[in-house]
Structure 1
């Protein structure tokens, strides 16, 4: 593969990364991601990334759960609160 081909492949990969994938689309559809001033999903996942223990992220999980309910995602996904 030539350097030009490698450059095109890298550019294509970078462009693909900018497009939301199926996972991103699902998260955005909850109403709890990428909203200002709070991004409940990012705060919850960042907490887990930093602490590596969900038990230490109860506050962030509760905030996400409230956002989830506020946007009626439990009805949309037929989810039952345990």
Structure 2
């Protein structure tokens, strides 16, 4: 596509949707640990083995604890 051409409406809609946060992203950002989550996910993607991402997992766990997210995920007796 040349710089004078405009993207089709479908392409424009798809690009706009890619820029919007979905529910999953909103939940991750609300934890306060989005950066640590991204680093952990990237580590796994690169190494394909969670055991090789122990440092990233520990940083995520510490962030989770500092942010008080343990209260969010406590199970309640039904």
- With normalisation by structure 2, the TM-score equals 0.83
> What is the root-mean-square deviation in Å for CA atoms of aligned residues?
1.3
Pick the structure with greater CA Rg. 2
Deviations 1:31-75 (A, max 9, x none): 011xxxxx2111101100100000100110000000001001110
Return 5+ residue gaps in structure 2 as ranges: 1-6
Give 4+ residue runs of structure 1 displaced > 2 Å after superposition: none
Residue-pair matches, total: 69
* Greater RCO, 1 or 2 (C-alpha within 8 Å, sep 6+): 2
Return 5+ residue gaps in structure 1 as ranges: 1-5, 34-38
- With normalisation by structure 1, the TM-score equals 0.79
- Distance in 1, matches of 2:33 and 2:74, equals 17
